[in-house]
Amino acid sequence: MNILVSLSRKPWIWSFVAAFAVWVATILFTGGASTIGLSQAALTFAAFSILVGIGQMFVITLGPGNIDLCVPATMTLAGTVALKFMQVDNSLILPGLVVAIAIGVAVGIGNYALIKLLQIPPIIATLSMSFIVQSTAIWTNRGLRIKPPEALATFTTETTIGIPNVALVALVLSVLAFILLQKTVYGRWIAAIGQSIRAARMAGIPVDGTRFVTYVLCSILAAVCGYLLASFSGGAALNMGSEYLLMSIAVVVIGGTAVAGGNSNVAGIWGASLFMFLVVSMLNTYGAGAGIRLIMTGLIIIAVIVVAGGRNPNQR
Amino acid sequence: MKKVLSSDTIRLLIPALSLTILLISVFYLQPRAMSYVGLNLLFNLAVPIALATIAQMLIMTVNDLDLSMGTFVSFVACVAATFLQATPVIGVLILAAAIATYAALGVLIHMRNLPSIVVTLGMSFIWGGLAVLILPAPGGEAPAWVRAVMISRPPFMPMAIIACIIIAVVSHFIIMRSSFGVILRGVGGNARSVERAGWSILGVRAATYALAAFFAILAGISLVGLTTSADANIALRYTLLSIAGVILGGGEFTGGRVSPIGAVIGALTLTLAGSFLSFLRISPDWQIGAQGAILIVVLGLRLLLNRLENRGKRS
């Protein structure tokens, strides 16, 4: 009984409960026929939201006003340039990843330079930056759909012992992010800055350095996600990142990370990402139209935040 | 001289200056724009953007942020092009229900102490879904009276500019001059002290959200008046445009520091930036990027002027 009580106090538990409920509802409707297929699809698509969600979580933890709106544009640019660089050549897969990461680093540096040097609020700084990055992507892409190298395309679409490879990648990166947040001094610094930037500065924490690294980290994760997503979907498209703007914010918040910063939660992002995908597929199985599906998604997001917000009065 | 200019005036000076510089560059590049028709074309689309910016600004005054602005304006546009045109009574009822929904959101956000970003994020799906249900494919028709207002040609000044001035003056009086506006900005600045002074924060929040919905509805209706038909995705970019407009106009995310006149000017600047770029004959690939660059330049300018202002204070 005590375990149940302490579990129900964990902010991330609700996203898992919700995801599981939706999963069961979908399976029951199809009579269990789609169990494996549905679970694999959910893990695959959730993996992409998890990758961008972790990056966004690091940024949101920095405190009120910190948010990265540049995520979709970074994904598009990294996917486009990396695929163009690899030119369907299997031997260039790793250099391609390096190119994607380099783009992430460059965008992250640009973002923080705007925030720091021009003292622009992060929302507007990353928004302006995303316009520029998106333009660069349009310019490099030229409407062509470049195919990913054979081996990379196979890797991203196949499974290992029943688990999609992209989900494994997301798992490894999530564990790394968890260690980074909970066990390293850097993780403590982020949380401290999110709780009170003044106190953090007085305690001698290198505030600017930490924020800088965090923005770069978020862009790198977005770039890696773009690289994998472009390979998974058989080529980079200019609008491939667009749905991940709201998604990255939604999974962070539904997952139980405090919007006001200072408190983050890696596990919750998994629950929230699975949940967001499963809701859409559940409504699809029930045969709901696009309009109904959107309305239901919105109602569920609000319902989850009302329930989770009530459990955790300190959250805002 | 320095003492005559209050810091609020300087706040307003920067957006006004950027707009003037942009306007002069447009006139230099294309002298024919300096006419009645030219100005009307330049600023036509600014009217709905300015209204949406004012709506966003109201929400930002109480330290919240509305991420559903774009989908809500699209939803209103769809209602205006269908129900409001065919059966005005039902149309008005739907829009009234939308205002009530916004007020309820304000209550919900306040009562449960929820993050407004997430609630409005969820609402953006709901408005989008409703818009798709009302108008699955682009279409509909603007009500005749809206169309008549939007294309009317008053003497001396184009409709677009008159409308923007009216929006700026009306919202200035509501937010900067009325007692409601003072309480509103007080809630943004220090909610607790406003509460101790005996005001109901809950009521203020609800009223703010309802008023924001009202301005957003005007934005949607005027947009349909310009485009003559609607589409469920017609105004999606308004979410980001409205936030950028408020910030360009000298508003802040927290603390209730906003400027309605600045917000309208910010919206005009954003609209003009688009026209300026097409006059420069920049390749369409770089249009969005250059818009981002203009945003950065204007904000950099603001930082510079703020520094000068601070230096003036110290000496």
Structure-block tokens of residue B292: 């981002």
What does the alpha-carbon distance between residue B311 and residue B305 come to, in Å, rounded to a whole number? 10
Query: What's the sign of the alpha-carbon dihedral A31, A36, A41, A42?
Result: positive
Give the closest-approach CA distance of A138 to chain B in angstroms. 6
Q: What is the mean pLDDT of residues A159-185?
A: 85
| A28: pLDDT strictly greater than 90 | no
Q: Residue B228: which pLDDT band, with cuts at 50, 70 and 90?
A: confident
CATH number assigned to the domain covering A12-25+35-311: 1.10.3470
The pLDDT tens digits of the residues spanning B272-287 come to 887 787 777 777 777 7
| B303: pLDDT strictly greater than 80 | no
Q: What is the value of ipTM here, to two decimals?
A: 0.79
- Sequence-distant (≥ 6) Cβ neighbours of residue A260 within 8 angstroms: A63, A64, A194, A315, A316, B115
Are B118 and A249 a contacting pair at CB < 8 A? yes
Q: Where are the domains of chain A?
A: 12-25+35-311
Q: Are strands A159-160 and A163-164 parallel, antiparallel or unpaired?
A: antiparallel
Are B254 and A128 a contacting pair at CB < 8 A? no
| B299: pLDDT strictly greater than 60 | yes
Q: Which residues in A lie closer than 8 A to residue B288 (C-beta atoms)? A: 131-132, 134-135, 138
Burial A184-201 (b: 16+ CB within 10 A, else e): eebbebbbbbbbebeebe
What does the alpha-carbon distance between residue B195 and residue B21 come to, in Å, rounded to a whole number? 43
Region for residue B228 given its phi and psi (left: phi exceeds 0; alpha: psi -120 to 50; beta: otherwise): left
**Residue of B124, B130, B247 lying closest to A291 (CB–CB):** B130
Q: Residue B7: which pLDDT band, with cuts at 50, 70 and 90?
A: low
- What mean pLDDT, rounded, does chain A reach? 81
B304 membership: H or E segment, kind and range = helix B287-314
**Residue of B125, B289, B300 lying closest to A295 (CB–CB):** B125
Question: Which residue, among A254, A305, A311, A314, would best test binding to B if mutated, counting the most B CBs under 10 Å from its CB?
Answer: A305
Residue with tokens 């074309």: B41
> How many residues appear in chain B?
315
- What mean pLDDT, rounded, does chain B reach? 84
| B213: pLDDT strictly greater than 90 | yes
What does the alpha-carbon distance between residue A288 and residue A301 come to, in Å, rounded to a whole number? 18
pLDDT at B48: 92
Name the closest residue on chain A to residue B134, using Cα atoms: A291
Name residue A222's amino acid: A
**Residue of A118, A250, A290 lying closest to B121 (CB–CB):** A250
CB A183 within 8 A of CB A67: no
Are A295 and B129 a contacting pair at CB < 8 A? yes
* Integer CA distances (angstroms), A234 to A87, A97, A137, A176, A184, in order: 13, 16, 17, 28, 38
Region for residue A63 given its phi and psi (left: phi exceeds 0; alpha: psi -120 to 50; beta: otherwise): left
Q: Which residues in A lie closer than 8 A to residue B67 (C-beta atoms)? A: 246
What does the alpha-carbon distance between residue B18 and residue B32 come to, in Å, rounded to a whole number? 21
User: Residues in chain B whose beta carbon is closer than 8 A to a beta carbon of chain A?
Assistant: 67, 108, 112-115, 117-119, 121-133, 136, 240, 243-244, 247, 252-254, 283, 285-293, 295-296, 299-300, 303
The pLDDT tens digits of the residues spanning A65-77 come to 788 888 888 988 8
Give the closest-approach CA distance of B131 to chain A in angstroms. 8
Q: Three-state SS string across chain A, please? A: CHHHHHHHHCCCHHHHHHHHHHHHHHHHHHCCCCHHHHHHHHHHHHHHHHHHHHHHHHHHHCCCCCCCCCHHHHHHHHHHHHHHHHCCCHHHHHHHHHHHHHHHHHHHHHHHHHHHHCCCCHHHHHHHHHHHHHHHHHHHHCCCCCCCCHHHHHHHHCEECCEEHHHHHHHHHHHHHHHHHHHCHHHHHHHHHHHCHHHHHHCCCCHHHHHHHHHHHHHHHHHHHHHHHHHHCCCCCCCCCCCHHHHHHHHHHHCCCCCCCCCCCHHHHHHHHHHHHHHHHHHHHCCCCHHHHHHHHHHHHHHHHHHHHHHCCCCC
CB A259 within 8 A of CB A67: no
Q: Which residues in B lie closer than 8 A to residue A297 (C-beta atoms)? A: 122, 125, 129
pLDDT at B75: 93
pLDDT at B1: 43
Are B253 and A291 a contacting pair at CB < 8 A? no
B307 burial via Cβ count (<10 Å: 0-12, 13-18, 19+): exposed
What does the alpha-carbon distance between residue A21 and residue A13 come to, in Å, rounded to a whole number? 12
